[in-house]
Structure 1
């Protein structure tokens, strides 16, 4: 999966914004002002960081060598995903899961604002 596909997929979701809060090499996608996906632009092969439910995290890491604890993030909740060698469907499921976890953590008021966009 290529970065353009990931960005198009993410930007089609409600309320997504692209930011560079840390540096100019790490693209951070947010919903409601909270991070749900990080992409180090200079890193090869393409790698993303996503948030996952801690119960699913252990299974993912056991089943896929491309999925490890995310660098500089809470490794209980955040995974670094090397996209090379993973099925596109799994990458999209991980992105959806991360987005949904963050969206659900927003206040009801913020969720409604995003749906009215």
Structure 2
């Protein structure tokens, strides 16, 4: 068991979110997490590498700030670089921050609930 968020922990956390599913729309890599079904919106892309990497949607201003703060966070790999970050899960980004960024990405793409 690692002492920081790794592939298995990131996968488990993504799947713990309401209506989250995993899919492989691009082949065996990356593992894609969507909300709802295979047509749902992506909120995370997880790559099994050493160390693992996860790409997450992010508010553009927050995305830039995070890139300046953490060398392990870069503009999204093969994604819209303004709205996506890729995080190398090497332990240099605190666990709480990694999990908060997964939740933030999920919140950005989940369907908004209408007020009664």
- Category of TM-score, reference length = shorter chain: 0.7 to 0.9
**Structure 2 runs not aligned, ≥5 long:** none
**CA deviation map 1:15-46 (0-9, x unaligned):** 001000011121000013110000122x2211
For 1:94 and 1:107, locate their aligned partners in 2 and report how far apart those are by CA, in whole Å: 18
The structural deviation recorded for 1:13 is 1.0
Taking structure 1 as the reference length, the TM-score comes to: 0.85
Counting matched residue pairs gives 106
2:28 corresponds to 1:24:
yes
2:42 corresponds to 1:35:
yes
User: Any residues of structure 2 matched to 1:32-71 within 5 Å, and which?
Assistant: 32=36, 33-41=40-48, 43-71=49-77
| Pair 65,12 (structure 1): closer, same or farther in 2 beyond 3 Å | same
The structural deviation recorded for 1:47 is 0.7
Taking structure 2 as the reference length, the TM-score comes to: 0.85
2:105 aligns with: 98
- Structure 1 residue runs of 4+, over 3 Å off? none
**Structure 1 runs not aligned, ≥5 long:** 110-117
**CA deviation map 1:82-117 (0-9, x unaligned):** 1112110010010000000001xx3648xxxxxxxx
Determine which of 61, 77, 80 is the counterpart of 1:74. 80
Higher helix content, 1 or 2 = 1
TM-align CA RMSD:
1.3
